[in-house]
Amino acid sequence: MADLSGPFDAGLAPTGPGPFSRLARVQYAALIAMRARIFANNFRTSSGAFEFGARAISYFIYSLMGLGLGVGAGSVAFSLVSHDHLQPLFIEFWVICILWQAISIALASLQEHFDLGSLLRFPVNFGSFYLLHLIFGLVDASTLAGGLSCLGLLTGITLARPDLFGPTVLALLEFAAFNILLVRAILAWLDRWLAKRRSREIISAVFLLATVSVQLLNPVLREDRPFAHHHHVGGPKTGELRPWVNAIRTTQAWLPPGLASAVVWEADQHESTAIAASLGILGIFVLGAGGLLGIRLRAEYRGENLGEAPSRSKNEKREAAWLISGSGPISAEIEKELRTLFRSMPQLYAVFVPMVMVVIIGSLFRTGATAIAHPFRLAIPICVAYGLLGFTQLIYNNLGAEGKGIQLVFLFPVPVRTVILAKNLFHGALYIFIALVSGVLASLRIGRPDPDVIAATVGWLIFALPANLAAGNVISLTMAYRVNLGRIGRQSGSQANALLSMLIQTTILGIGVGVISLCSIFDRLWLAAPILLAFAVVAVIAWLTVLRNVDAMANARRDTLIAKLVKTE
Amino acid sequence: MDPAAIETHGLARRFGDLIAVENVTLTVTQGQFFGFLGPNGAGKSTTIKMLTGLLEPSAGTIEILGQPFSSTALHLKRQIGVVPEGMALLGRLTATEYLRFVGRMYGLDRATVERRTEELLEFMQLANERRKMVTDFSHGMQKKLALAAAVIHGPKVLFLDEPFEGVDAIAAGMLKSMLQGMIQRGTTIFLTTHVLEIVERLCSHVAIIHQGRLVANGSIETLRAGVASTLPGAESGQRLTLEEIFLSIVGAGGGEPVQELSWLT
Ligand SMILES: Nc1ncnc2c1ncn2[C@@H]1O[C@H](COP(=O)(O)OP(=O)(O)OP(=O)(O)O)[C@@H](O)[C@H]1O
Ligand SMILES: [Mg+2]
């Protein structure tokens, strides 16, 4: 071994333990400088500058949404606390907690995440590694929304009862720390589990179970609403579930949202030991979430690889068959897409998580239905539209998963149009499938919709599919970005693409909402479907026009497309 | 007379202010094993990308098998096979699935695709790895797979950008004999590599590109004679190796490093 005390060592900072040793601080400075350089270099190209603009706008939008949530949470808390209804506050904590996790899980594959794996070749200690993992990407949509909601809660509670401020701040700080750590821990473990086929299957089962338990949990929340109208929209009757309800209610009190809200309530009762106990238990949860994350990061720090080792018997059978037997390039391309999708975690995730979210949103509609006497009529179309949200990433970046394989598109003796058409057909089929499943899931949660609502929804879908495909093809060719197929939360992403595609999606949604609400204002909801079908005709023409021009567009953008997707940075 | 396999006139490519390739005019006749050499950053990969439709030339014309080539010339794309720089693999497919996909996209029928996939996997000694996803392949395995994909449709003109990089000695030997076999059956091969010994052994013709410009073009014998005549006191009896020819043309002097990195222990 080299003698490190010799002249060779000259100019090296001494290594030391802990995330704040001198070496660690030198490293942070280097990382900050590196990020700053990358940031500055982005402005060398116009697309980089554009990307920066898009990022600024997206964060502005996230903040606005977070502010909305914060104001909402604050006003509800204010009215509850000023009417001395402290008990039901726990529902608000639960909603914030679920939203916080849900937003980050739903947007995981959209958010940028710096891959720290590349740091491992340097002498970085584990403490620094952990700290950096927490800090990089901290300012994302979920932290903004969750943090601002907590701030709103604090403001609302304090305005109503200034004397509760101290304990509330402590509780909210711990609550926020818990959420931030839990989000990271969940994503890190998901990556780990989804990398293996066996655990992928287990996860799907757990998701299913969770779906069912939301079904069961719903009556509990309804039970506790302070000004509940007792109507039964289907589902099991509360009475039959009494033991369950009590069990769940006592359990939730021992979980972080329950504990955090308990602190506020206990502060009102001046029970300082209880406050300390609640804060203490909450602290244990924070440590627990941090520990869960730590286990994962420790493995990563040791250089684990999340490859999918071949499982012998199974693969052999699956591989032997051609999934789609046609001999043309379209069937070949569709078969490739199918196989790739089911091995590409971020994409699979993006497509299927919204469906799970549909169940949660459906439940929100049901509990939120207090304001209106009966469940919101258009809840189902909204759920279906939401369920399709994950498609943004597939349809609006349909070349992103090709990676280096993008070169094949230009090498094959096949027009680019054929390749894109095959992708469109595949995505279209999947789109219809997901729309159906979301619709069915939502109806299970909310109740069967009226036929004219179904007709309007179907009309909108028939319009939205070609419209999305048309816009998606254009954006895929002009704003492609490389998808990291191995990890969910490690995307280089493109805020420009995300922003633009969200804008177009919103417009498409807006047209649907506009037509449907206009028709329902005039009590002619049956008219919505034919009107939307007329829009669909326009959308189909647009799609065909785009398809006709795909080759010209692709060839004109060939250089940048290949450069973007081939380069690994 | 057969048309040339590859013919370019005044081929050029700029990246912003940088001229990566400038005024490259060359002819590769059918059945030729053509070595395209040059130091790092000389413009070899850029040229291959233009010749295969992956990159738009800034200027100049390309003819493949006597017909004007552009990215929309699909009938010509059917005749060429490519191992591009960085390979064009799809990480989430297995080796079998990848070769099948490529074969189908070239329009081969099912039986042919199946048969050739099997034969290529056997030949490249990848048969035992067929269930692995390509992303889990080693670098050399990926190179072999990329080569298999480049020839599955029996191309008339084959472009290889550093196909031997990272390939083990056994496989390299077999690849060499495979390429020679293809040449004997009339295929044209356009090869770039930094392993000059391979070029010397395989290629009949060589072009050297340096800073985007062609600085030499001809049979190895012609180049050798040309260089020998310029060397001051060179004995004509002494046979120059391709490496010596290359260094003398590209002008690296071949001396000691400019500066020593004294702190490297
Ligand atoms: N997409 C690009 N954008 C800007 N410059 C590029 C791009 N691609 C290549 N270049 C530049 O063009 C020049 C030639 O690059 P090229 O890849 O053709 O070199 P090469 O001869 O293949 O080198 P090597 O032997 O290292 O593979 C280099 O200076 C390179 O920096
Ligand atoms: Mg190169």
User: How does DSSP assign B183-223, residue by residue?
Assistant: HHTT-EEEEE-S-HHHHHHH-SEEEEEETTEEEEEEEHHHH
In this structure, are A364 and A513 located in the same domain?
A: yes
The band of A88, judged by pLDDT with boundaries at 50, 70 and 90, is confident
State whether A289 and A362 are in the same domain: no
The protein residue with its alpha carbon nearest to ligand 1, atom 9, reads: B46
> Structure tokens of A482?
């490389």
Amino acid A233: pLDDT: 43
For residue B11, name the pLDDT band (cuts at 50, 70, 90): very high
Q: What is the pLDDT of residues B238-253, one digit of tens each?
A: 678 888 888 888 875 5
Q: Choose which residue among B13, B14, B15, B21 to substitute to test ligand 1 binding: the one with the highest number of ligand atoms within 8 A of its C-beta.
A: B15
Q: Is residue B163 in some structural domain?
A: no
In a domain, A48, yes or no: yes
SS3 A221: helix
Which pLDDT score, from 0 to 100, does residue A476 have? Answer: 93
Residue B62: inside a domain: yes
Confidence of residue A110 (pLDDT cuts 50, 70, 90): low
Q: Is residue A54 part of a domain?
A: yes
Tell me the best of B45, B51, B191, B193 to mutate to test the pocket of ligand 1, counting ligand atoms within 8 Å of each CB and taking the most: B45
The Cα B72–Cα B242 span in angstroms is 38
Choice between B70 and A214, residue whose per-residue pLDDT is larger:
B70
Task: Give the span between the Cα atoms of A96 and A91, in whole angstroms.
Answer: 9
Buried b (16+ CB within 10 A) or exposed e, A219-241: bbbbebeeeeeeeeeebeebeeb
Residue A61 is predicted with a pLDDT of 87
Q: What percentage of chain B reaches a pLDDT higher than 70?
A: 93
In a domain, A353, yes or no: yes
Token pair of A336, please?
A: 């490739």
Whether the per-residue pLDDT at B124 is higher than 60: the answer is yes
pLDDT at A254: 86
How much of chain A, in percent, has pLDDT values that exceed 70? 80
Among A333-342, A546-555, B43-52, which is the least confidently predicted range?
Answer: A333-342
CA torsion, ordered A130, A135, A139, A144, to nearest 10 deg:
60
A4 close to B (CB below 8 A): no
Whether B90 is covered by a domain: the verdict is: no
Cα separation, A194 vs A182, whole angstroms: 18
Q: Report helix, strand and coil shares of chain B as percent, to nearest 5.
A: 35, 25, 40
Nearest CA in chain B to A567: B86
Chain B positions in Cβ-Cβ contact with residue A562 (cut-off 8 Å): 54-55
Question: Is the CB of residue A109 less than 8 Å from the CB of residue A92?
Answer: no
Same domain, A280 and A155: yes
Residue B17: CB within 6 Å of ligand 1?
Answer: no
CATH number of the structural domain spanning residue B37: 3.40.50.300
**Are residues B247 and B255 in contact, defined by beta-carbon separation less than 8 angstroms?**
no
Asked whether residue A288 falls in the same domain as residue A333, the answer is no
* Same domain assignment for residues A202 and A349: no
Q: Could you tell me the pLDDT band of residue A495, with boundaries at 50, 70 and 90?
A: confident
Rg of chain A, C-alpha, whole Å = 26
Buried b (16+ CB within 10 A) or exposed e, A351-367: bbbbbbbbbbbbbbbbb
Q: Is A411 among the domain residues?
A: yes
Please state, rounded to an integer, the average pLDDT across all residues of chain B. Answer: 89
Confidence of residue A86 (pLDDT cuts 50, 70, 90): confident
Q: What's the CA gap between A54 and A112, in Å, rounded?
A: 13
Residues A425 and A379 both lie in one domain: yes
Strand pairing partners for B59? B12
Per DSSP (E only), the strands in B16-162 are 18-28, 33-37, 59-64, 67-68, 80-83, 157-161
Q: Report the alpha-carbon distance of residue A413 to residue B189 in Å, rounded.
A: 19
Among A80-89, A151-160, A435-444, A479-488, the minimum mean pLDDT is found in A479-488
Mutate which of B40, B46, B211, B213 for ligand 1? The one with the most ligand atoms within 8 Å of its CB, which is B46
Closest alpha carbon within chain A to B90: A405
Of A247-251, A403-407, A420-424, which range is least confident? Answer: A247-251
Higher per-residue pLDDT: A2 or A493: A493
Q: Which domain holds residue B244?
A: 1-79+194-251
Q: Over chain A, what is the mean pLDDT?
A: 80
Q: Please tell me the predicted confidence (pLDDT) of residue B258.
A: 59
A336 and A417 part of one domain: yes
Q: What is the pLDDT of residue A155?
A: 93
Inter-chain touch A316–B131, beta carbons under 8 Å: yes
Tell me the per-residue pLDDT of A256-293, one tens digit each, with 9 for 90 and over: 999 998 898 888 888 888 889 999 999 999 999 999 99
Its ipTM equals 0.86
Backbone angles phi, psi at A314, to 5 degrees: -60, -55
A222 and A341 part of one domain: no
B89 CB near a chain A CB, below 8 Å? Answer: yes
For residue A241 the two structure tokens come to 């579930």
Tell me the pLDDT band of A242, cut-offs 50, 70 and 90.
low
Confidence of residue B160 (pLDDT cuts 50, 70, 90): very high
Inter-chain residue contact B109 with A327, CB threshold 8 Å: yes
Q: What is the pLDDT of residue A299?
A: 86
> CB-hemisphere CA count at 13 Å for A52?
11
Q: In B, residues 190-229, which contact A (CB 8 Å cutoff)?
A: none
CB pairs under 8 A between A and B: 116
By DSSP bridging, strand B188-192 and strand B33-37 are parallel
CA nearest to A182, candidates A302, A287, A334, A48: A287
Q: What is the rounded distance in angstroms from the CA atom of residue A34 to the CA atom of residue B93?
A: 35
B14 part of contact set with chain A, CB < 8 Å: no
Do A292 and A339 share a domain, yes or no? no
Neighbour count for residue B132 (Cβ, 10 Å): 19
Q: What mean pLDDT do residues B225-230 have?
A: 81
Averaged pLDDT, A538-549: 96
Residue B6 in this model has a pLDDT that exceeds 90 = yes
Residue at B88 is within a domain: no
- Please state the rounded mean pLDDT for residues B36-62: 94
Asked if the structure places residue A8 within a domain, the reply is no
Q: pLDDT by residue (tens digit) across A415-461? A: 999 999 999 999 999 999 888 888 888 887 777 778 888 888 899 99
Instruction: Return the minimum-mean-pLDDT range out of A137-146, A165-174, B34-43.
Output: A137-146
The confidence score (pLDDT) of residue B71 equals 83
The residue among A141, A147, A144, A149 whose CA lies nearest residue A113 is A141
Answer whether residue A7 shows pLDDT above 60.
no
Residues from chain A contacting residue B109 (CB–CB below 8 Å) = 327
**B91 and A485 Cβ atoms separated by less than 8 Å:** yes
Instruction: Establish if A315 belongs to a structural domain.
Output: no
- Return the DSSP state at A128: H
Q: What is the pLDDT of residue A379?
A: 75
- What is the structure's pLDDT at A320? 62
CA nearest A508: which of A467, A536, A557, A538? A467
Total number of domains in chain B: 1
d(CA B192, CA B188): 13
Q: Is the domain of A457 the same as that of A399?
A: yes
- The DSSP line for A361-425 is HHHHHHHHTTSSSS--TTHHHHHHHHHTTTHHHHHTTTTGGGGGGHHHHHHSSS-HHHHHHHHHH
Q: What number is the average pLDDT over the span A73-93?
A: 88
Token reading at B35: 């070595």
Q: Can you give the residue range of the structural domain that contains A65?
A: 43-305
Helix H, strand E, coil C: the string for A297-316 is HHHHHCCCCCCCCCCHHHHH
Residue among B221, B165, B223 nearest B198 (CA): B165
Closest C-alpha residue for ligand 1 atom 22: B45
pLDDT of residue B129: 86
Rounded Cα distance, A348 and A472, in Å:
18
The share of chain A scoring above pLDDT 90, in percent, equals: 27
pTM for the model stands at: 0.82
Considering only CA atoms, which of B46, B146, B140 is closest in space to residue B88?
A: B146
Amino acid at B76: L
> Of A111-125, B200-214, B231-245, which one has max mean pLDDT?
B200-214
Who wins on pLDDT, B262 or A436?
A436
Considering every ligand atom shown, identify the ligand nearest to the alpha carbon of residue B85 and give its number.
2
A237 pLDDT band, cuts 50/70/90, is very low
Cβ of residue B104 closer than 8 Å to a chain A Cβ: yes
Residue B16 falls inside a structural domain: yes
B152 in a domain, yes or no? Answer: no
Ligand 1, atom 3, lies closest to the CA of B15
Per-residue confidence band for A373, with pLDDT thresholds at 50, 70 and 90: very low
pLDDT of B45 > 80? The answer is yes
Describe the strand order of the beta sheet including B205-210 as a list of residue ranges: B80-83, B157-161, B188-192, B33-37, B205-210, B213-219
Residues A368, A234 share a domain = no
pLDDT of res. B212: 93
> For residues A113 and B62, what is the distance between their CA atoms, to the nearest angstrom?
43
pLDDT value for A489: 64
Region of poorest pLDDT, from A29-43, A51-65, A538-552, B212-226: A29-43
Assigned domain for A265 exists: yes
State the pLDDT at residue A230.
Answer: 42
Number of domains in chain A: 2
Cα–Cα nearest to A399, from A289, A482, A490, A503: A482
Nearest partner of A78 among A162, A167, A146, A143, judged by Cα: A162
- For residue A342, what pLDDT band results from cuts at 50, 70 and 90? confident
Query: Is residue A37 included in any domain, yes or no?
Result: no
Q: What is the pLDDT of residues A449-465, one digit of tens each?
A: 788 888 888 999 999 99
A337 C-beta neighbours (distance < 10 Å), count: 23
Pair A338, A271 in one domain:
no
CA distance B221 to chain A (A): 34
Residue B201, domain member (yes or no): yes
Distance B41 CA to ligand 1 centre (A): 5
The pLDDT, as a whole number, for residue A313 is: 47
Per the CB < 8 Å rule, is A307 touching B136? yes
pLDDT above 90 coverage of chain B, percent: 59
B98 near B145, Cβ under 8 Å? yes
Q: B56: which residues sit within 8 A by CB, 6+ positions away?
A: A555, A558, A559, B50, B71
Does the pLDDT of residue A307 top 70, yes or no?
no
Domain end (from A290, A305, A320): A305
Query: Could you tell me which of A263, A259, A113 has the C-alpha nearest to residue A183?
Result: A113
Residue B142 domain-assigned? Answer: no
Task: For chain A, say whether B128 makes contact (Cβ under 8 Å).
Answer: no
Interval A209-227: pLDDT, tens: 766 666 566 555 554 444 4
